[in-house]
């Protein structure tokens, strides 16, 4: 798979009329080579590819990297590029992924290769990993299953007096014990008024009776991630909580029903958003309905009213509408969904009825 991915990038490099590309973002490096370490860079030229890392990863790189020749650098791989004279010649055009390439990295690259013209080439990676093959979908499915199981296991711990961070720690522990490599992203546990924060990272706040608690988390399997959200109530839900929850669930289900290959991402967003807006809560739904997932947690396509992306067969996307009322609380419900020719196949098995714990 790595060989095929690098081969496809070589074709893009040729068609874009550049001589090569330097990739430093480690998620991208892993996607192309299979390398799971934390330091290294990939140089892909029209006819060859090289992976540079340092002494710490000698054995790991030689075992994991596919499709590129492994070079062990003496120190910083970007600085060590100056020693790789066989890779460059004067007046070459080398692309970088400017969205992830820092100014400091750019300076080091220019110092190493002063006779090279550095150009922006993130467009070559624009649809990287959007469409999944069978193996990729299997990995995502396994990650989703781990998330579902871990969430079920931590439900008994969601009681008054426990801190959000304690629940988050147990949730991440359960995912690791079930086989996750790492959390897909920093786990969100937001209770009470904090549940109105779409990205309310777990805090030291104690969960109280009668509060909403929103969980947004994911597992990682062979580099592929899941991303799910559930909102529960500690104790009995009041009428307002039931109303808001039912509205978000109705919107989420409508979005899922809209999914199939050939449908615009904005159409899925509109299916969710129109329900929430009609009910008078449009201003309380301020983010997009979803995004693609895969080798990292945010890839295309975008499922947003601002998106021009079209859903394709074997995209895997999230559907996650929400309502957030400042000072009171909020609800978000999220599933991971495979796009098929006839509809959306929901991977999550965790029930979506309102849980009163």
For range 76-94, the mean pLDDT? 87
Per-residue confidence (pLDDT) for residue 200, from 0 to 100: 95
Per-residue pLDDT band for 297 (boundaries 50, 70, 90) equals: confident
pTM beyond 0.75: yes
Per-residue pLDDT band for 160 (boundaries 50, 70, 90) equals: very high
Per-residue confidence (pLDDT) for residue 90, from 0 to 100: 80
Q: Which domains does the chain have, with CATH numbers?
A: 2-125 (3.40.350.10), 134-346 (3.90.230.10)
Per-residue pLDDT band for 3 (boundaries 50, 70, 90) equals: confident
Given a cut of 90, is residue 63 above it in pLDDT?
yes
Cα torsion 260, 261, 264, 265 to 10°: value is 70
Q: Token pair of 24, please? A: 């430093």
Per-residue pLDDT band for 85 (boundaries 50, 70, 90) equals: confident
For range 267-285, the mean pLDDT? 98
Secondary structure of the chain as H, E, C letters: CHHHHHHHHHHHHHHCCCCEEEECCHHHHHHHHCCCCCCCEEEEECCCEEEEECHHHHHHHHHHCCCCEEEECCCCHHHHHHHCHHHCCCCCEEEECCCCCCHHHHHHHHHHCCCCEEEECHHHHCCCCCECCHHHHHHHHHHHHHHHHHHHHHHHHCCCCCEHHHHHHHHHHHHHHHCCCCCCCCCEEEEHHHHHCCCCECCCCECCCCCEEEEEECCEECCEECCEEEEEECCCCCHHHHHHHHHHHHHHHHHHHHCCCCCEHHHHHHHHHHHHHHCCCHHHCCCCCEEECCCCCCEEEEECCCCCCECCCCEEEEECCEEEECCCEEEECEEEEEECCCCEEECCCCCCCCCEC
Per-residue confidence (pLDDT) for residue 87, from 0 to 100: 79
Per-residue confidence (pLDDT) for residue 326, from 0 to 100: 97
Question: How high does pLDDT run on average in the chain?
Answer: 95
Lowest mean pLDDT among 19-33, 72-86, 93-107, 129-143: 72-86
Per-residue pLDDT band for 357 (boundaries 50, 70, 90) equals: very high
Given a cut of 90, is residue 216 above it in pLDDT?
yes
Per-residue confidence (pLDDT) for residue 50, from 0 to 100: 95
pLDDT by residue (tens digit) across 317-345?
999 999 999 999 999 999 999 999 999 99
């Amino acid at each position: 798979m790595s060989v095929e991915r690098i081969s496809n990038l070589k074709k893009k490099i040729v068609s874009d009329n550049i001589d090569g590309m330097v990739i430093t973002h480690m998620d991208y490096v892993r996607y192309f080579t299979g390398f799971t370490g934390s330091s290294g860079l990939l140089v892909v030229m029209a006819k060859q590819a090289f992976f540079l890392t340092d002494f710490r990863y000698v054995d790991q790189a030689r075992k994991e990297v596919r499709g590129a020749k492994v070079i062990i650098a003496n120190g910083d791989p970007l600085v060590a590029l100056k020693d790789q004279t066989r890779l460059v010649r004067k007046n070459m055009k080398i692309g970088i992924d400017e969205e992830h390439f820092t100014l400091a990295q750019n300076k080091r690259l220019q110092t190493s290769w002063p006779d090279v013209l550095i150009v922006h080439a993130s467009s070559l990676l624009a649809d990287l990993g959007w469409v999944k093959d069978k193996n990729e979908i299997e990995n995502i499915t396994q990650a989703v299953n781990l998330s579902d199981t871990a969430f079920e296991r931590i439900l008994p711990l969601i009681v008054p007096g426990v801190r959000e961070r304690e629940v988050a720690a147990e949730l991440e522990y359960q995912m690791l014990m079930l086989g996750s490599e790492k959390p897909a992203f920093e786990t969100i546990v937001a209770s009470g008024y904090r549940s109105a924060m779409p990205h309310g990272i777990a805090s030291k706040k104690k969960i109280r009776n009668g509060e909403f608690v929103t969980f947004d988390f994911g597992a990682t399997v062979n580099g592929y991630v899941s991303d799910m959200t559930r909102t529960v109530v500690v104790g009995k839900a009041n009428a307002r909580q039931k109303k808001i929850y039912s509205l978000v669930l109705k919107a989420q289900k409508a979005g899922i029903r809209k999914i199939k290959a050939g449908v615009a991402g904005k159409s899925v967003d509109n299916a969710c958003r129109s329900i929430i807006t009609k009910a008078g809560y449009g201003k309380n739904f301020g983010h997009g309905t979803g995004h693609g997932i895969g080798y990292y947690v945010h890839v295309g396509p975008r499922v947003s009213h601002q998106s021009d992306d079209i859903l394709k067969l074997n995209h895997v996307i999230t559907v996650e509408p929400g309502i957030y009322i400042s000072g009171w609380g909020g609800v978000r419900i999220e599933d991971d969904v495979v796009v098929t020719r006839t509809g959306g196949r929901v991977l999550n098995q965790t029930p979506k009825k309102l849980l009163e714990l």
